[in-house]
Amino acid sequence: MGAAGSKLEKALGDSFPEGERYFGLENFGNTCYCNSVLQALYFCVPFRDQLLDYYANNKSLGDEDNLLACLADLFTQISSQKKKTGVIAPKRFVQRLKKQNELFRSYMHQDAHEFLNFLLNEIVDTLEKEAQAAKNDQETSSPAEKTANGPKNAHANGGPKEQLDTWVHKNFQGILTNETRCLRCETVTARDETFFDLSLDIEQNSSITSCLKNFSSTETLNAEDKFFCDKCCSYHFGLTAFTATTIMVAGDHQLSLPITALSTCN
């Protein structure tokens, strides 16, 4: 390492990750909520790689004025820096964010979690619009194919809107399974819901896994929440409900929490 290496490079020495860039983001007046989320997203490597691929495959994005294009541009700038460490001003991204959403226009502190949700939803919206536009282009440019695919198209237009599984979903979407067991007939009813984020009660000095276990623990339904059992065809008191959570992190990693022991009431 040359004499030009930064303090951080010197401190990390040989453990500086190969090909990695550590860049600080300039603050534009209480934009720390935004910078902290951008840093977290940048170091979510599968997300970053997919965003960089997307940008590389869509060269015209440089002229696009949406948050996805601004984010892709920023990440590309950081990853292509010659230096390993430094500071970058996410000016274009912050300007676009303020233009897009009134909430983030002031110089007030904002909620990082709220911003992350907004950003991920914006990216999904843009990807869905692009996929729809590409589909429309394909349909208008090849009318013969449209006729051939007639019944399929009719189904697509007539049926419920099919959710596009974007790389944002692949990275961040999880499935929450809520299971309820009827204490009378033992029938288990399961209901799946997708989510981008979960609200966990954080206990001091505990791990995320431990907090997730608490989240999925058994709960006895009380009289107000009595549950309708399809098998017994009636509402019952004294039921026990429990949730099992399946959380998929970064595509391949799956964390399944076991169903905990049943407790009975009455």
Tell me which residues touch Zn ion (CB under 5 A).
182, 184-185, 187, 229, 231-232
CB of 266 to Zn ion, least distance (A): 14
Q: Report the alpha-carbon distance of residue 58 to residue 76 in Å, rounded.
A: 13
- Please identify, using beta-carbon distances, which residue of 92 and 226 lies nearer to Zn ion: 226
Cβ-based burial of 183 (10 A; exposed 0-12, middle 13-18, buried ≥19): buried
Closest C-alpha to 86, from 15, 19, 1, 6: 6
Three-state SS at 124 = helix
- Please identify, using beta-carbon distances, which residue of 120 and 182 lies nearer to Zn ion: 182
CB of 218 to Zn ion, least distance (A): 17
Closest C-alpha to 179, from 235, 240, 247, 238: 240
- Please identify, using beta-carbon distances, which residue of 170 and 184 lies nearer to Zn ion: 184
CB of 185 to Zn ion, least distance (A): 3
CB of 234 to Zn ion, least distance (A): 8
- Please identify, using beta-carbon distances, which residue of 152 and 231 lies nearer to Zn ion: 231
- DSSP annotation of 187: -
